[in-house]
Amino acid sequence: MRWNDLYIAGVGTYLPEQVETVDDAIAAGRYTEEKKAMNGYRELRVAAPGETGPVMAAKAGLEAVERSGLSPLDFGLTVHASLSHQGLDLWTPASYVQANTVGGTGPAFEVKQGCNGLMAAVDLAASYLSSHRDLPAALVTAGDAFHLPYFDRWASEEQNVNGDGAGALVLSNRSGFARIRSIHSHSDSTLEQMSRGFQPWTTGPFADGQTLQLSSGVEDFLQNADVDLDDMIARIGGGVRHSLKMALYEAEIELADARFFLHQQLAETIVTHGICGLLGVDRASTTYDWAKQYSMVGTADVALGLDHVLAERDPKPGDLIVLQSSGAGYVWTAAVIEILEVPSWV
């Protein structure tokens, strides 16, 4: 979708104070030297007791709203995205984020689309602002905390390592420091079972009391004789390329026109082959090496990267930035934004 009147007016982030390094995890027997060499992470942040995903998302959201210069009365929508357990069962974290940021009577929605949650939420919020022209702004947040015994940040996934934190964006149909020129989402539901595997259904969360092993679903899936591994890999790569191709086409630019390319903080091998190699992205245009100090922060990586670019990478009016993410399911979202002015808070 090409946009002519959709803007980013504010960006906010929140990262807990406690730092845990890869070497700390290795010394504790929770990680290995082999994985350190293969995956490339350095350290991450660990949320304190009570710093749940929504609590951190509200803090990031408040920063984004303050930076936007908009009044809480301008917000007609709040969308919250997450990966992890949000602190309580069967409650509404999006409403918590709304109540602790902009308040008001606009709807609050939750998006659960894996690692693509934040970008999926941006896409949905953009459409909402387009169809509700009397509502000037939307707040989009993402927040996650990964704790034992439910989730082991160092071992529940074979490659990706998960840090705690949150990010937020304020979207506006009136004005902002950057214009969103295009957003494109694409899915391939034939890959849905890749993460689920062939495990039996449960009647509630954490049913067996065992720490999640997300890689087991993939391993289970790949052991099925009907699975064509080459086809699966081709489909995943095709989804990444298609979402990017369409976002670039709708923004009327080439990849080489973009000064920055912001993506998820995936393992080194995935980034090397599945992003830079697959798409032809110049690693120097990303925030990947800088963000190794935070690892993969749930679904908030793109917001963290954008905040870093604004503060530390000297963006100029006219600079183009590509945002790209994906999530199991499989859904990919890519967007192109154009810097209109250096934000006042930088």
Q: 210 and 163 share a domain? A: no
- Note whether residue 2 is domain-resident: no
Judge whether 276 lies within some domain. Answer: yes
Check whether residue 172 and residue 193 sit in a common domain.
no
Number of separate domains in the chain:
2
297: pLDDT strictly greater than 80: yes
Between strands 18-21 and 43-46, the pairing is antiparallel
Q: Could you say which of 126, 143, 177 is where a domain stops?
A: 177
264 is a domain residue? yes
345 inside domain: no
φ and ψ at 324, to 5 degrees? -145, 135
Question: What's the mean pLDDT in 64-74?
Answer: 97
Q: Is residue 271 part of a domain?
A: yes
Q: Which of 159, 177, 195 is at the close of a domain?
A: 177
- Is pLDDT larger for residue 225 or for residue 108? 108
- Give mean pLDDT, residues 41-66: 98
CATH for 118: 3.40.47.10
In a domain, 1, yes or no: no
Confidence at residue 139, expressed as pLDDT on a 0 to 100 scale: 98
Q: Are residues 225 and 167 in the same domain?
A: no
Are residues 219 and 245 located together in one domain of the fold? yes
pLDDT of residue 218: 66
User: Quick one: pLDDT band at residue 193, thresholds 50, 70, 90?
Assistant: confident
- 255 φ/ψ angles, rounded to the nearest 5 degrees: -55, -40
Question: Which has more pLDDT, 224 or 117?
Answer: 117
Condensed to tens digits (0 to 9), the pLDDT of residues 87-145 reads 999 999 999 999 999 999 999 999 999 999 999 999 999 999 999 999 999 999 999 99
| Residue 267 covered by a domain | yes
**Is residue 186 domain-shared with residue 163, that is, in the same domain?**
no
Distance (Å, rounded) from C-alpha 9 to C-alpha 272?
A: 32
pTM of whole model > 0.85? yes
Q: What average pLDDT does range 54-77 have in this prediction?
A: 98
Both 295 and 235 in one domain: the answer is yes
The mean pLDDT of 68-78, rounded to a whole number, is 97
Q: Are residues 220 and 281 in the same domain?
A: yes
Q: Do 27 and 165 belong together in one domain?
A: yes
Residue 198 pLDDT: 78
247 and 266 both lie in a single domain: yes
Mark which of 143, 177, 211 sits at the end of a domain: 177
Query: Domain check: are 26 and 170 in the same one?
Result: yes
Answer whether 317's CB lies under 8 Å from 340's CB: yes
On the question of pLDDT at 214 being above 90, the answer is: no
pLDDT of residue 145: 98
- Is 142 part of a structural domain of the chain? yes
> Would the pLDDT of 220 be above 80?
no
- Tell whether the model's pLDDT for residue 194 goes beyond 90: no
Beta carbons of 53 and 143 less than 8 angstroms apart: yes
H helices of 197-228, in order, are 214-222
Same domain (yes/no): 199, 325: yes
The answer to whether 191 and 238 have CB atoms below 8 angstroms apart is no
Q: Which range marks the domain in which residue 233 is found?
A: 181-339
Residue 234 makes CB contacts below 8 A (sequence gap 6+) with none
Residue 166 DSSP symbol: E
Same domain, 227 and 287: yes
